A and B are shown apart, each in its own frame.
Chain A
């Protein structure tokens, strides 16, 4: 009699108890499969998330860190301060960005997209791996000027970070390696592959190019594409493109290699998303694409390390320049800059 009552109560309560105690935690369970996809007809990426398994939680953690000012000494200057989503993760309107205490850098903050295809980072290529790229701006006195141990101390005190690190990495330990891997999950997933040019190449709707744009594409392919190689619009080499040494006499790649042959060489930037990333060049000296055209057609400054391909400049008529600019504007990826996945969570 007694045991029957007990069993009856258990039979009724157990399923309810089990179900209520096992409600899926929306913060924990992946929303949907999260994977890195190489766009059609693109080369294989250099970085393939080896030893850094992608997850939505890891990506979200990386995004939170990217926009978190606590990675800087002043608790305000985040990665996102100089790399803004609406600016294709450059900082529009700034030749040089402001770090902590309003300190100015000496090189233009580049857009961040398709980074998984890069085998080197920074204008001089000094850093050889995406995972350790964030170390430089974090420690740079004119950027975030913070010590790694301070960052770990701040994140440990946060109400949410320890649990987020546990979800992504298995326990609550917050290490520099985990911070960098999470940041890389965010940065490595910033893929920009949906400009009108991309749709044109995939023969999709919305991919029509006008006559001037098509003429511009042809000019591009005969004069620019050897360095700005499709589809990433860079061959990621280092070249002296004939800029006179700027106000800082930035020696470029030679700063890292100390090789005189590398004097004034800079990494070839992608030409995607130019509409959002002005001004242009390593020191942001050109505010418009017209100025860039004029540089290549008549402003090349000769020097011993000038790229041989530019010895006599690029001969362009005014119409050709206009066509080329029209083509370059087909590389603007509105879907990328507006992608909700890449915006800061407020």
Chain B
């Protein structure tokens, strides 16, 4: 008897609850604004952990504290250093994997930004990793973005559309500018003006992606390469880059080879 009443009440509650889903959840347009979660529950999720170490020569880069000397003998101090790495691809003999929604903003001010994990990698042995320095053409031409690509990160031009692929700001007594400031905003995503550079790094030995272990890849990035090869930069001649063009392309050619693998922990 009591059980019957309780049962009837349960039905009533259920009815009310389900009949009002629309009110509780008035979603007109679930916007596709968050990166798709490609890992499906239950499936093993094979991963690779990356750590980017910004260096100046052989020393860890420090902002606003240390002076460094470029290839040309100019002194520089860095107070802002950010760049995009994107479109990560792992390549093996019989397997390869390109990460979807693969956009990372490396910010020297934010330790957490320098370590990230590539998810959902197919199991296998991989020999090299490649990525883009910058943000690909498509994301420069398809409207409002979010996450690492949010214009709030101040890596986006509002007057000449495009992401600042890499930004280096600081001081140099050789600059001859107001307060000796240097500022390199490297942008340009199409045609002659493109500064997009693909980096491919070969692993010293194949890396196995498998269940139960996450290999850790440490990559160093030497900021002094910006000023070294193939284009020797003299800061008194080029203290600022603020538009697309040959100078930005020159700088991109320089920093394209600043990455080297320092360590792989299987």
Which residues of the other chain, A, contact B200 by a CB distance below 8 angstroms? none
Among B18-26, B50-58, B127-135, B250-258, the stretch that binds chain A is: B18-26
Q: Which of A128, A135, A149, A169 contacts B33 (CB 8 A)?
A: A169
Given contact pairs A135-B151, A175-B150, A258-B245, A18 touches B28 in the complex (Cβ within 8 A):
no
A135 touches B160 (CB 8 A): no
Q: Is A2 interfacial (CB 8 A cutoff)?
A: yes
Which residues of the other chain, B, contact A246 by a CB distance below 8 angstroms? none
Which residues of the other chain, A, contact B8 by a CB distance below 8 angstroms? 3, 6-7, 10
B29 touches A136 (CB 8 A): no
The 8 A CB mask of B113-146 against A (1 = contact, 0 = none) is: 0000000000000000000000000001111111
A143 to B19 CA separation, bound complex (whole angstroms): 49
Chain B residue nearest to A181 (CB atoms) is B144
B4 touches A3 (CB 8 A): yes
Chain B residue nearest to A25 (CB atoms) is B23
Given contact pairs A3-B5, A129-B143, A55 touches B19 in the complex (Cβ within 8 A):
no
Q: How many residues belonging to A are interface residues under a CB distance threshold of 8 Å?
A: 51
A149 to B143 CA separation, bound complex (whole angstroms): 19
A136 touches B30 (CB 8 A): no
Chain B residue nearest to A147 (CB atoms) is B152
Q: Which of A2, A21, A127, A178 contacts B31 (CB 8 A)?
A: A178
Among B9-17, B64-72, B90-98, the stretch that binds chain A is: B9-17
Which residues of the other chain, B, contact A28 by a CB distance below 8 angstroms? 23, 26
Which residues of the other chain, A, contact B245 by a CB distance below 8 angstroms? 258
Please give the distance in Å from A120's CB to the nearest CB on chain B. Answer: 9
A175 touches B146 (CB 8 A): yes
Which residues of the other chain, A, contact B143 by a CB distance below 8 angstroms? 51-52, 129-132, 180-181, 184
Cross-chain pair count, CB within 8 angstroms: 132
Which residues of the other chain, A, contact B22 by a CB distance below 8 angstroms? 22
Please give the distance in Å from A54's CB to the nearest CB on chain B. Answer: 8
B29 touches A58 (CB 8 A): yes
Chain A residue nearest to B140 (CB atoms) is A128
Which residues of the other chain, A, contact B243 by a CB distance below 8 angstroms? 258
Chain A residue nearest to B21 (CB atoms) is A22
Which residues of the other chain, B, contact A58 by a CB distance below 8 angstroms? 28-29
| Contact residues of A between 10 and 31, Cβ < 8 Å to B | 10, 14, 17-18, 21-22, 24-25, 28-30
A212 to B169 CA separation, bound complex (whole angstroms): 62
Which residues of the other chain, B, contact A29 by a CB distance below 8 angstroms? 26
B interface: dominant SS: loop
Q: Is B41 interfacial (CB 8 A cutoff)?
A: no
Given contact pairs A6-B8, A18-B16, A149-B152, A256 touches B26 in the complex (Cβ within 8 A):
no
Which size class do B's interface residues fall under? 35 or more
Which residues of the other chain, B, contact A44 by a CB distance below 8 angstroms? none
Q: Is B205 interfacial (CB 8 A cutoff)?
A: no
Which residues of the other chain, B, contact A18 by a CB distance below 8 angstroms? 15-16, 19
Please give the distance in Å from A248's CB to the nearest CB on chain B. Answer: 15
Given contact pairs A25-B23, A148-B151, A148-B152, A175 touches B33 in the complex (Cβ within 8 A):
yes
B33 touches A22 (CB 8 A): no
B29 touches A169 (CB 8 A): yes
Please give the distance in Å from B190's CB to the nearest CB on chain A. Answer: 10
Which residues of the other chain, A, contact B36 by a CB distance below 8 angstroms? none
Please give the distance in Å from A63's CB to the nearest CB on chain B. Answer: 15
Please give the distance in Å from B217's CB to the nearest CB on chain A. Answer: 31
A55 to B150 CA separation, bound complex (whole angstroms): 24
A131 touches B144 (CB 8 A): yes
Which residues of the other chain, B, contact A55 by a CB distance below 8 angstroms? 28-29
Which residues of the other chain, A, contact B33 by a CB distance below 8 angstroms? 169, 175, 177-178, 181
Q: Which of A6, A122, A132, A140 contacts B151 (CB 8 A)?
A: A132
Q: Which of B9, B15, B145, B159 contacts A177 (CB 8 A)?
A: B145
Which residues of the other chain, B, contact A2 by a CB distance below 8 angstroms? 1, 5
Please give the distance in Å from B168's CB to the nearest CB on chain A. Answer: 21
Which residues of the other chain, B, contact A177 by a CB distance below 8 angstroms? 33, 144-146, 150
Chain A residue nearest to B141 (CB atoms) is A128
Q: Is B81 interfacial (CB 8 A cutoff)?
A: no
A136 to B160 CA separation, bound complex (whole angstroms): 9
Nearest 5 A/B pairs, CB to CB: A131-B143, A180-B144, A177-B146, A131-B144, A28-B26
Contact sample, A vs B, 24 pairs, CB 8 Å cutoff: A2-B1, A3-B5, A10-B9, A17-B12, A17-B16, A21-B16, A22-B19, A30-B28, A53-B28, A53-B29, A128-B140, A132-B144, A135-B151, A136-B159, A152-B152, A169-B33, A170-B27, A170-B29, A170-B30, A176-B144, A176-B150, A181-B33, A184-B144, A256-B160
Q: CB within 8 Å of A: which residues of B?
A: 1, 4-5, 8-9, 12, 15-16, 19-20, 22-23, 26-33, 140-146, 150-152, 156, 158-161, 243-245
Beyond A18-B19, A128-B140, A177-B150, list 6 extra A-B contacts (CB 8 Å). Answer: A51-B142, A52-B143, A129-B141, A138-B158, A170-B29, A176-B152
